[in-house]
Structure 1
């Protein structure tokens, strides 16, 4: 059987790694990038335009800067009969918008998010989540890219996962950078601190699992790690950080979430209840349950 022809639009770090992986997998690959130099040394056909590149492939993988760039490039080409896989970052609504457009054009659409550094694409260290067209998700060539998880027909679902995961990641990175600043303020090497910090964060995983169950059930009666206790701890930590000249607005923001719940009389309930401080959106997702339920 002839290997599926694949097109990759965008040759940034991710796009080039994708193209190289498909080439190693024995697929004929056509590529396009606004800056032609990005294709140097790549064993693929370099198309003169995005339209030419799309015409050459049955599976079209998009890895551009942002949603606006992907939208602009795709809407200027003929995608009829193509299987589109968009790995460009965006919001859930961005994904749904392009999925609806692709369907109207007679194309299949799958939206994905990649969790890997470029050099691990195509290995077991690469994970990719997808949602959208199930037939497109079943393309065997996509399995070349790493561990694949299909999340269902809603094209926006993968982006919903992605924005939540990335928010958690940046929150963690912000916390790490603040920890590093506090360590330096106390004459502690950050490399010396990091193993202890990583060990403690790993030990927190069971607590996160418990919090997740409480949030999904909107049931916060387990006060083992109560809001009031954490409110006190946060106040002490904020005071210590200020005294050492390294305050962090992220801590203030977390305390504000906790304060809102304590002020409403929920201080003895689980810290997980602080999620309700994000307002009507999170409360709506919990099924519209109100304060009287808890």
Structure 2
């Protein structure tokens, strides 16, 4: 190892699935001493060839480094893997997908076992990891001091975004963004279904659809501004009454095309409920309040 390598923060990584393996390769490429453990040892072979130390147990891996990163299947797996490890004095960073409540409980259990804790929500897919400019990043929440201490090391696989001292906030931001993504995918699925039986190439619709979604995306800023001010009529261009009046056209078109309206109807139902409350002059923002009741 070179002098530069010795100076890099040692990292222990538990979990070598597709995401964990990508992170491991990024840290190795950047010269970080890396200890890895995986339930299936064979997955560590390629990393060992690249210079990683392979621990025989999770407890041994945890003991090897002050900074311990966990990237496992689910919250229950984290409990199982860490059960026999000594966490006292460790800096524990959990990148396992979890709910906000699970993250907060994990932070408390880590504290009780003498560890400092950061939770993470990965906004990337494995091919984006370790690739500068790919756009991937990780939300982090929990100890600000711990985040700042390891910011450079955590920034090696992907960008970082610290979102608060509440350990549940990284998971909450993660799920919020992914929920919006699936809503977008649902709309795109409906759009493609509408042309599925016609002599229209999906490849010709795709760029139109992508450009339209990009053009509509800035509307989230107006939604945020209205939620902050409490005035849902601020800056309205097409009010709720007008939009509800247009929804039968979408449903009738789906019927004509032999397409189920099940992806659209729930949102339209919420729009009509909000209109029935006398909110016709508003934007669509009032739907948010219906969802949190």
2:23 is aligned with 1:28: no
8 Å Cα contact 1:110/1:130 also seen in 2: yes
Deviation for aligned residue 1:211: 1.6
8 Å Cα contact 2:68/2:91 also seen in 1: yes
Pair 75,219 (structure 1): closer, same or farther in 2 beyond 3 Å = farther
Deviation for aligned residue 1:117: 2.0
2:13 is aligned with 1:8: yes
Alignment correspondent of 2:111: 103
Deviation for aligned residue 1:191: 1.3
Q: Deviations over 1:25-48 (max 9, x none)?
A: 111111111111211211211111
Q: Does the residue aligned with 1:114 lie in a helix, a strand or coil?
A: strand
Aligned mate of 1:136, from 146, 163, 168:
146
Q: Deviations over 1:243-271 (max 9, x none)?
A: 21111312011011101111111122112
8 Å Cα contact 1:61/1:87 also seen in 2: yes
Deviation for aligned residue 1:100: 0.7
TM-score (norm 2): 0.91
The 5-angstrom pairing of residues 1-294 of structure 1 reads 2-42=7-47, 43=50, 44-122=52-130, 123-125=132-134, 126-138=136-148, 139=150, 140-222=152-234, 223-280=236-293
Deviation for aligned residue 1:124: 2.8
8 Å Cα contact 1:124/1:146 also seen in 2: no
8 Å Cα contact 1:234/1:251 also seen in 2: no
8 Å Cα contact 1:225/1:271 also seen in 2: no
Deviation for aligned residue 1:230: 1.6
**In structure 1, C-alpha distance between the alignment counterparts of 2:186 and 2:46, rounded to whole Å:** 37
Runs of 4+ aligned residues of structure 1 deviating over 3 Å after TM superposition are none
CA RMSD of aligned residues (A): 1.5
8 Å Cα contact 1:214/1:272 also seen in 2: yes
Q: Does the residue aligned with 2:93 lie in a helix, a strand or coil?
A: strand
| Number of residue-to-residue matches in the alignment | 280
Deviation for aligned residue 1:71: 2.3
Deviation for aligned residue 1:59: 0.9
TM-score (norm 1): 0.91
The answer to which of 163-172 and 110-119 deviates more is: 110-119
